Structure 1
């Protein structure tokens, strides 16, 4: 969008925001810290923070990007600067929701320094048929498009947790300046993908391309229109719900035309655009850059848009509520309708209703007199034909002195609602008004009118009054409903990964989201407990002591944490299994703060076994009969610690090396994909298994960055070793400190799993790739004869699985 320096108005806005909101400097990340979650804790209770409108935890937000549905979750991506309150160094922010209304912000999806090019606005799809050939696991890939003056592709095979660059970030479509904002969708009648991208080269226009595979694009047509500025969207809707399919082409300002589309060319019924929302439709207004969801499971066309101008102490910008779009015939022509999705009704915490009333200037006739509300919706229908009032409507956030924060009025003579045209339908006018702490959305006559606004509502107790008013006569109220709406925040986990069911609840201590997982801090014991319960279970997680004396994993816990079994690592130098009132067993071992430990507790009846760092033999094997079942969670004691990857009955990291694994530089955890390492420079995780002659096999996957591989004949500190890795520069490499022994060129695709096998006999080292029977490297090097076995990352985030020796 035109937040670029060529737009003088945008520069003025940025200058204004900078003056009002001193932000932090923007920054780009590295593969070693991807995905980033750079946000301070928030309870989402700040003044003007929407309680049912999505806003970023912190930082700047603008355009909606790539909204889609994937595997039971709605995904919302958005233009984002997480490091300041103004537009700068664009990232793709990310949030997920199970129902379109409860959103949980996730770590950064696309990040400068990790993903190349300008990460500006774009769209995304779910490639269910794997037409691009990018699928590496059981799930369909999420494929997103971004860039300026050309389009780059990134894709995720883990549900949007991480994104890999296709072909190193090379543009799959080169375009002249100025071109940007690709929107992609599947066109079933022609069996092709369609891309609509904006350009002002030769005048404002939407360029249309098609592709069979999301990678190779062919130009088809150009739709030119002076009004068409940025962020195009093109989607189909049935006319009047069941009629013939018509296509709608929109731009960032919410202007649109209706017409036909044959999979290659869009033809408008009329060149004159209409506006879908009557708010200030610009990038310094109240409504901009709306985009429709892809891959919807129920066929609805649902849109979210950016609300510029909404600001708080720690964030700038928010999203509108999701609305369902429709296409209806009216006397003046075919028009697009916008109406809140049905899921919004699930947020109602209390409701009151009235019917068949006449309201006049007499306060006694107002059904809302004496009522208060903070965040809410008003749903009303008025019989204008039976009314005499010249104006009627609602005063929102009214005070005892009669003042209010905003008036929403219908003018009978002008036939306007909130100043926008809205003629009665059958002698009736309908209003649906959504009131949040900094946002106001008004819908008239079932979505024929949409008006998005920003209002700094005063939510103090003395400013939450309501009034239904009538001027110059009476208004006949057919029906009126007041629905109070609760906060949608805090329903999901931002950074704590795993497979445990929620909701998670606190039983002591303070628990916040940080880049590495869930951080707990307590004076004594603090527990963070899932909604999952179990008796017999294999449960594991990663824990890292910061200032805490101890931290660990908890099973068979009561809801308040007063009963439980906990296995923890203790800074005093031990692993301990305990329950309230009894230390069941301890295992002495060095424990360091700042180092991540992997704990696994297997409970079967009275048997309780604790495993440490992937060792095959339990470090604690005890019995206790105090508790038979209860919740699963994590624990911190006397300080702060971080927990991550809480999983029950999971595959974890599969290896037959049989002894503990220890980190030597880097951060090492165990998500669902196996063992994950991250490090700028070299990082190792080495088992205590040593070998000289060996056959070492493992699956290696680079998620972001440079290289990862298998390590053997290593010293305890990793200063001496052989490592064979896959390098995204395009090679398999065998190396030791100070020397690249041999390389074999081949394409290495980030996100794809590669099987490596090393056969070492004396000085002879053979490397086998991707299950091949013939070595791709076969050399001699006698520098190291024996040592530890493990894995390595270099300038990357990578995962390892099925590391075996034989």
Structure 2
């Protein structure tokens, strides 16, 4: 979205600023790498007035243009322009939500933040690099590659399914335009016929238009052509569609932010069309639409921004996703828009009418009361005497209604826009949400998106089917209630356990650190996954709670086993009515503890903080299997990374590891550390002369490394990888040796350290020669550990020999 051309949304910003703002009084601000990604959202039930129940809106804050719409690794990803700290446009971030069906959306942490990723982070597109044409893939998941920035395009990519993004080459602008020319809004698609990528972005070079670039690897781009058009302003999209479903008659569509479009051809370098004026795809409150790439069924799915919707904690929402088609008409090829079929997953209680005469004196829907719903109706207008007919929505007994959808038979308009009968019939489909109204007609050739503040109170949920000036025949009509789509996913809890999750006591909400439970007594949060013998692990932060832990072999109410951390100073394995075993040790509320439970028949072992030896080894035969989940008791605690299996932090045998500053948790990918300054995670194993090695990476931020010969406070030597481009051996107060080497965020590097008395050598990767060979006599022996500095880091596969 533009920064300078504000005329489209300045009124909305002013209106939003005038609202009573219930968001925290936090100014719009850039983020920091060490606590990225942030989740700055207060809890909500999504039941506020005017909040769409099947239209996506951000959990809080401002949203505008859809960005980087992709289907990747089994999920649809909806990114969007976002100010999470206020109700007006400011300091653009990329918000993020995911869905498996395009209907049930789950808010996710911020995808990209100014201050973490370089650039303006304005609107852009995204693709899934399934064939790793970019060479950016580092793990088993297909990279999500997105494009943003102004006056030149920057590339950002994610190898963890959108949980974090890195900037390619530190955000270097890989596509540039002449000096003094404004450009923005890159959109990329795959040109299957020529086996390469195509990018379009808007610029004002010589007037409004798009520049077309091509690439084989997503990082090196070649100018191909320029398409000028005065109507072509902002947020272009270029994509192919088969004409009338015939894949041998493929046409290319070029659209702009206002939903105007032309149909033409693309030869791999140049877009051409014989259409002198553009068509309008959608009338009403609809802007900056974008299509998904790489959908599983090959469908072209589109979502746009509805600017007018707002509430006490959010501004803006997305239009309901539609499948696009292209059909022949007497006026040439035209776009059709059809709501995605998965909308049916929300449908309940359908009612149908057929062959009814509609007059001014009656109302076929007089007994229907509804808040969110769908109406499909077909009218035979060949012999109608009605001057007008239609629906009053959210009607009241006093005759008023929040909105009227009216067909004018003389003007042949629906809702004020032209709609000619087809074979003597008028068919319309209405999607009615709490703050949105979308109308589809003429087999998808007609689309309207509107923002309507519907009154959802009980006495304002009527529907009137009416006529004026005569009667009309209703061929068929179906009314269907649409349930809410919210609340089916996990926003911040990372887990390989299947849902739906449910609370059995207590209140459970999403926070940056995971799932936060609050309960006066025992509260449980339980997955839908059950099991018997297993390894179950997770991170527990007590916060204010008296106790919290991992629950397993449980029924739906939480009755089963729980391995608990209790601030009274014990680790406890218990079941209802019995404390099976306890282990005394200090427990604090401010740090995360990693708890692992291993069950083998009646034997239950509990491990703490990645130690090789259990703190509890007990037997009990009461519960043989059951659900996995978490528990909180008497206060507020946070759980994270609830996973079943042997994955996790793979390291040399040690007692419990100890955090020294920073936050340290364990994911299936390994140990994850976050620290604003120097943070250490230390084992209790010590050594003098040895070979110490492991795999480390900086997800986002400054530096990570392996620490050795260290004291309990982390003071010792550290071999560091720094994203400024150096490998460094240092100790407190001194950089012993520095070697210039490119270090890329998100990439895993193998570090190997060998000490022989005062001599310290450091190898990077599989190189034969060390990158550092130095001497220092300050520390002769001490602990092994991991360091994080000014960012998020991951460590895995640590060995000492």
Q: Return the alpha-carbon distance in structure 2 between the equivalents of residues 207 and 9 of structure 1.
A: 23
TM-score (norm 2): 0.98
Q: What residue is the counterpart of 2:514 in the other structure?
A: 517
CA deviation string 1:483-508 (max 9, x = no partner) = 10000000000000010000000000
Q: Return the alpha-carbon distance in structure 2 between the equivalents of residues 36 and 175 of structure 1.
A: 33
Query: Are 1:215 and 2:212 counterparts?
Result: no
Query: Are 1:602 and 2:598 counterparts?
Result: yes
> How far did residue 72 of structure 1 move?
1.0
> How far did residue 11 of structure 1 move?
3.6
> How far did residue 12 of structure 1 move?
4.2
Q: Return the alpha-carbon distance in structure 1 between the equivalents of residues 532 and 562 of structure 2.
A: 14
CA deviation string 1:49-92 (max 9, x = no partner) = 00000000000000000111011100000000000000000000
Query: Are 1:372 and 2:357 counterparts?
Result: no
Does the residue aligned with 1:168 lie in a helix, a strand or coil?
Answer: helix
After TM superposition, the structure 1 = structure 2 runs for residues 297-696 of structure 1, keeping only pairs within 5 Å, are 297-363=296-362, 366-561=363-558, 563-696=559-692
Does the residue aligned with 1:799 lie in a helix, a strand or coil?
Answer: strand
Q: Return the alpha-carbon distance in structure 2 between the equivalents of residues 633 and 773 of structure 1.
A: 47
> How far did residue 6 of structure 1 move?
4.3
Does the residue aligned with 1:252 lie in a helix, a strand or coil?
Answer: coil
CA deviation string 1:639-669 (max 9, x = no partner) = 0000000000141110123221110000111
Does the residue aligned with 1:520 lie in a helix, a strand or coil?
Answer: strand
Q: Return the alpha-carbon distance in structure 1 between the equivalents of residues 38 and 638 of structure 2.
A: 16
Q: What residue is the counterpart of 1:713 in the other structure?
A: 709
Q: Return the alpha-carbon distance in structure 2 between the equivalents of residues 631 and 19 of structure 1.
A: 48
Q: What residue is the counterpart of 1:40 in the other structure?
A: 42
Q: What residue is the counterpart of 2:105 in the other structure?
A: 103
Q: Return the alpha-carbon distance in structure 2 between the equivalents of residues 643 and 17 of structure 1.
A: 35
Q: Is the 8 A contact 1:553 1:566 kept in 2?
A: yes
Q: What residue is the counterpart of 2:734 in the other structure?
A: 739
Q: Which segments of 5 or more consecutive residues in structure 2 lack a partner in the other structure?
A: none
Q: Return the alpha-carbon distance in structure 1 between the equivalents of residues 7 and 371 of structure 2.
A: 38
Q: What residue is the counterpart of 1:123 in the other structure?
A: 125
Does the residue aligned with 2:444 lie in a helix, a strand or coil?
Answer: coil
Q: Is the 8 A contact 1:441 1:451 kept in 2?
A: yes
Shift in CA distance, 305/9, structure 1 to aligned 2, threshold 3 Å: closer
Q: What residue is the counterpart of 1:787 in the other structure?
A: 782
Q: Return the alpha-carbon distance in structure 2 between the equivalents of residues 594 and 7 of structure 1.
A: 45
Q: What residue is the counterpart of 2:152 in the other structure?
A: 150
Q: Return the alpha-carbon distance in structure 2 between the equivalents of residues 11 and 360 of structure 1.
A: 44
Q: Return the alpha-carbon distance in structure 1 between the equivalents of residues 768 and 175 of structure 2.
A: 38
Q: Return the alpha-carbon distance in structure 2 between the equivalents of residues 141 and 334 of structure 1.
A: 35
Q: Return the alpha-carbon distance in structure 1 between the equivalents of residues 482 and 69 of structure 2.
A: 24
Q: Return the alpha-carbon distance in structure 2 between the equivalents of residues 45 and 35 of structure 1.
A: 26
CA deviation string 1:348-387 (max 9, x = no partner) = 0221111111111121xx3211210100000111111142
Query: Are 1:241 and 2:236 counterparts?
Result: no
Q: Is the 8 A contact 2:12 2:307 kept in 1?
A: no
Q: Return the alpha-carbon distance in structure 1 between the equivalents of residues 154 and 451 of structure 2.
A: 34
Shift in CA distance, 386/628, structure 1 to aligned 2, threshold 3 Å: farther
Q: What residue is the counterpart of 2:18 in the other structure?
A: 19
Q: Is the 8 A contact 2:16 2:310 kept in 1?
A: no
Q: Is the 8 A contact 1:529 1:559 kept in 2?
A: yes
Q: Is the 8 A contact 1:657 1:805 kept in 2?
A: no
> How far did residue 10 of structure 1 move?
3.9
Does the residue aligned with 1:150 lie in a helix, a strand or coil?
Answer: coil
Q: Return the alpha-carbon distance in structure 2 between the equivalents of residues 14 and 342 of structure 1.
A: 34
Does the residue aligned with 2:668 lie in a helix, a strand or coil?
Answer: coil
Does the residue aligned with 1:173 lie in a helix, a strand or coil?
Answer: coil
CA deviation string 1:213-268 (max 9, x = no partner) = 11111100000000001000001111112261111100000000110001110001
Q: Structure 1 residue aligned with 2:753, among 748, 754, 758?
A: 758
Q: Return the alpha-carbon distance in structure 1 between the equivalents of residues 219 and 369 of structure 2.
A: 55
Q: Is the 8 A contact 1:339 1:447 kept in 2?
A: yes
> How far did residue 394 of structure 1 move?
0.6
Residues 742-751 or 51-60, more deviating: 742-751
Does the residue aligned with 2:749 lie in a helix, a strand or coil?
Answer: strand
Q: Return the alpha-carbon distance in structure 2 between the equivalents of residues 288 and 737 of structure 1.
A: 55
Cα RMSD (Å): 1.1
Q: Is the 8 A contact 1:5 1:11 kept in 2?
A: no
Q: What residue is the counterpart of 1:7 in the other structure?
A: 6
Q: Return the alpha-carbon distance in structure 2 between the equivalents of residues 96 and 700 of structure 1.
A: 28
CA deviation string 1:430-463 (max 9, x = no partner) = 1110000000000012211100000000000000
Does the residue aligned with 1:600 lie in a helix, a strand or coil?
Answer: strand
Q: Return the alpha-carbon distance in structure 1 between the equivalents of residues 562 and 47 of structure 2.
A: 34
> How far did residue 672 of structure 1 move?
2.1
Q: Return the alpha-carbon distance in structure 1 between the equivalents of residues 122 and 426 of structure 2.
A: 41
Q: Structure 1 residue aligned with 2:265, among 249, 260, 263?
A: 260
Does the residue aligned with 2:478 lie in a helix, a strand or coil?
Answer: strand
Q: Is the 8 A contact 1:756 1:771 kept in 2?
A: no
Does the residue aligned with 2:345 lie in a helix, a strand or coil?
Answer: helix
Q: Is the 8 A contact 2:548 2:565 kept in 1?
A: yes
> How far did residue 691 of structure 1 move?
1.1
Q: Return the alpha-carbon distance in structure 2 between the equivalents of residues 10 and 556 of structure 1.
A: 54
Does the residue aligned with 2:153 lie in a helix, a strand or coil?
Answer: strand
How many aligned positions are there?
Answer: 795
Q: What residue is the counterpart of 1:727 in the other structure?
A: 722
> How far did residue 604 of structure 1 move?
1.5
Does the residue aligned with 1:99 lie in a helix, a strand or coil?
Answer: coil
Q: Return the alpha-carbon distance in structure 2 between the equivalents of residues 414 and 164 of structure 1.
A: 55
